[in-house]
């Protein structure tokens, strides 16, 4: 690829020094800051933007990025300025208004900041970054502007999605290369402290919320014919593992065995290293939003524990993702995927043998799906293209 092509693709020109503020309120868990941090790094690194990330919970951020000092009001990490967004009215140490302002997941940006945006001679591009959904309506609403009721400002709604006409999902430019270069043997020794398992063992990674289906699934792995190696990052599901194995806890470094099942607990790693877990496994159980996306780029079969919402509002989202992901599969494999994903999300009973009988089809489909998803374009590039276009008007 020529340098010129490369630079244009990276979006360095003509707005290489655009300033961007991202506001992130942590609702719970890691996904809110997880998505914002990933986007911030990519806008900085691949598009040359000057990015400031305002986050209201530095403790959660610290888990994803250990170099974050929770005591600092302002610091820099990976070339991104990070500010502790201390309370809803706080708008940064000095009221600087960026060229592009992103409010993540409808968090409310400070009133003083909005008023200053309206006073700015050149109005910033104001984007509300929505949660990811694979539903069809997303493409119709993506990038729809909505005028502010009081100020001469438009806010656009940027919808990540899995289909054409949506904002796509985050994918770094060098992700596929990094995956191809991954040294699995070294990873097993370093992270799990054992040799890479022989190919006859199925390696499963399990990142999930508390889940009533987990006991049945663990029992099926324990009692199954094929050996299973389970990798469990410490977290909300760890208690269930401890109970299953009759232990007091299942913290990083712990291992346990029962029948055909062998399980290892892993410590939480900095976000750029999370992908390695997905690359090391044969099948990944993921959750929320960011790990769900990463599992798709890992090109391995996966099962999604969707973030549960009241009134089962998450179930249509689950089905929409399943429809994208399982289209092209034969009816049997598609049915097995639907049954298993539903059961993992509280509808029905998990049946590992029924699901995993289609392993090879799922593997082939995972590779094909990653190629399809890449057609939508990556979220950061789509966002940069939108902002650049808006600014040219
Ligand atoms: O943590 P999540 O459940 O996050 C969320 C939140 O619940 C949020 O409120 C909700 O709106 C959103 O989901 C949909 O799951 P998610 O999105 O997968 O985020 C987990 C992040 O943690 C992801 O960026 C990967 C990262 N991670 C690490 O960096 N290291 C680790 O060791 C592990 C296990 C995860």
Residues 6+ apart with CB under 8 A from 313: none
Residues 327 and 349 occupy one common structural domain: yes
Ligand 1: nearest atom to the Cα of 268: 32
Domain span at 155: 3-169+377-392
Query: What pLDDT was estimated at residue 13?
Result: 46
Q: Residue 335, Cα to own-chain centre: how many angstroms?
A: 26
* 147 shares its domain with 215: no
Query: 228 and 134 share a domain?
Result: no
User: Does one domain contain both 157 and 53?
Assistant: yes
pLDDT of residue 91: 79
Residues 210 and 74 in one domain: no
How is residue 300 annotated by DSSP? S
* Spatial CB neighbours of 284, under 8 Å, sequence gap ≥ 6: 204, 205, 207, 277, 278, 295, 298, 300, 301, 302, 303
**CB-CB neighbours of 102 under 10 Å:** 26
90 lies in the same domain as 235: no
Q: What is the pLDDT of residue 16?
A: 55
- Whether residue 289 contacts residue 213, with contact meaning beta carbons closer than 8 Å, is answered with no
**225 classed as catalytic:** no
* pLDDT for residue 142: 95
Structure confidence at residue 155 (pLDDT):
94
Does residue 373 line the site of ligand 1, with CB under 6 A? no
CA atoms within 13 A of residue 141's CA, in its CB half-sphere: 18
User: Which CATH number belongs to the domain containing residue 255 in this structure?
Assistant: 3.40.50
**Which strands, in side-by-side order, build the sheet including 255-258?**
255-258, 261-266, 228-233, 202-206, 283-287, 302-305
Give the strand pairing for 261-266 and 255-258: antiparallel
Cα–ligand 1 centroid distance for 27 (angstroms): 11
Number of domains within the chain? 2
The predicted pLDDT at position 12 comes to 43
Q: Retrieve residue 127's tokens.
A: 């984007």
The atom number, within ligand 1, closest to the CA of 289 reads 17
In whole angstroms, give the CA distance from residue 129 to residue 159: 6
Q: Cβ(210) to ligand 1 under 6 A? A: no
* In a shared domain, residues 266 and 319: yes
User: In this predicted structure, what is the pLDDT of residue 89?
Assistant: 79
CA angle 106–13–156, rounded 5-degree value? 20
Q: Cβ(168) to ligand 1 under 6 A?
A: no
Those residues with Cβ within 8 angstroms of residue 110's Cβ, 6 or more apart along the chain or in another chain? 88, 89, 90, 91
Q: Are strands 80-84 and 74-77 parallel, antiparallel or unpaired?
A: antiparallel
Q: What are phi and psi of 26, to 5 degrees?
A: -85, 115
Residues 221 and 160 in one domain: no
Token pair of 174 as six digits? 């060098």
Please check whether residues 41 and 116 belong to one and the same domain.
yes
Contact between 184 and 198 under an 8 Å Cβ cutoff? The reply is: no
Examine the domain organization and report whether 115 and 208 are in the same domain: no
176 counts as catalytic: no
Per-residue pLDDT of the chain (393 residues; tens, 9 = 90+): 333 333 334 444 445 589 999 999 999 999 999 999 999 999 999 999 999 999 999 999 999 999 999 999 999 999 999 999 988 878 776 778 999 999 999 899 999 999 999 999 999 999 999 999 999 999 999 999 899 999 999 999 999 999 999 999 999 999 999 999 999 999 999 999 999 999 999 999 999 999 999 999 999 999 999 999 999 999 999 999 999 999 999 999 999 999 999 999 999 999 999 999 999 999 999 999 999 999 999 999 999 999 999 888 899 999 999 999 999 999 999 999 999 999 999 999 999 999 999 999 999 999 999 999 999 999 999 999 999 998 887
Instruction: Say if ligand 1 is within 6 A of residue 29 CB.
Output: yes
207 in the same domain as 126: no
Same domain (yes/no): 220, 165:
no
């Amino acid at each position: 690829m020529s340098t010129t092509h490369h630079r244009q693709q990276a979006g360095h020109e003509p707005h290489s020094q655009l300033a961007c503020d991202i506001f992130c309120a942590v609702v719970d868990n890691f996904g809110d800051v997880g998505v914002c941090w990933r986007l911030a790094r990519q806008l900085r690194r691949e598009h040359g933007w000057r990015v400031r990330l305002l986050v209201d919970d530095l403790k959660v951020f610290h888990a994803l990025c250990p170099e974050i000092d929770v005591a600092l009001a302002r610091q820099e990490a990976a070339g991104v300025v990070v500010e502790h967004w201390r309370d809803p009215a706080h708008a940064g140490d000095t009221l600087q208004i960026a060229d592009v302002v992103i409010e993540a997941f409808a968090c409310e940006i400070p009133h003083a900041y909005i008023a200053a945006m309206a006073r700015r001679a050149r109005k910033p591009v104001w984007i509300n970054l929505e949660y990811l959904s694979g539903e069809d309506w997303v493409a119709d609403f993506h990038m729809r502007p909505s005028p502010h009721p009081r100020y001469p400002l438009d806010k656009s709604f940027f919808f990540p999605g899995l289909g054409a006409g949506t904002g796509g999902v985050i994918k770094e430019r060098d992700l596929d290369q990094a995956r191809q270069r991954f040294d699995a043997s070294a990873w097993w020794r370093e992270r799990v402290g054992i040799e890479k398992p022989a190919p006859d063992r199925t390696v499963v990674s399990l990142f999930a919320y508390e889940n009533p289906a987990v006991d049945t699934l663990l029992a099926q792995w324990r009692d199954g014919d094929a050996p299973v190696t389970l990798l469990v990052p410490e977290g909300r599901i760890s208690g269930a593992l401890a109970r299953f194995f009759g232990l007091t806890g299942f913290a990083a470094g712990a291992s346990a065995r029962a029948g055909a099942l062998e399980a290892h607990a892993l410590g939480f790693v900095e976000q750029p290293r999370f992908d390695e877990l997905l690359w090391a496994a044969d099948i990944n159980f993921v959750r929320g939003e960011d790990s769900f996306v990463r599992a798709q780029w890992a090109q391995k079969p996966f099962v999604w524990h969707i973030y549960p919402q009241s009134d089962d509002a998450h179930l249509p989202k689950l089905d929409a993702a399943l429809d994208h992901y399982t289209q092209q599969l034969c009816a049997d494999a598609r049915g097995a995927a639907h049954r298993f994903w539903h059961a993992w999300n509280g509808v029905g009973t998990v049946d590992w043998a029924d699901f995993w009988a289609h392993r090879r089809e799922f593997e082939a489909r995972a590779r094909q799906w990653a190629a399809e998803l890449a057609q939508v374009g990556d979220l950061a590039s789509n966002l940069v293209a939108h902002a650049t276009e808006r600014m040219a008007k």
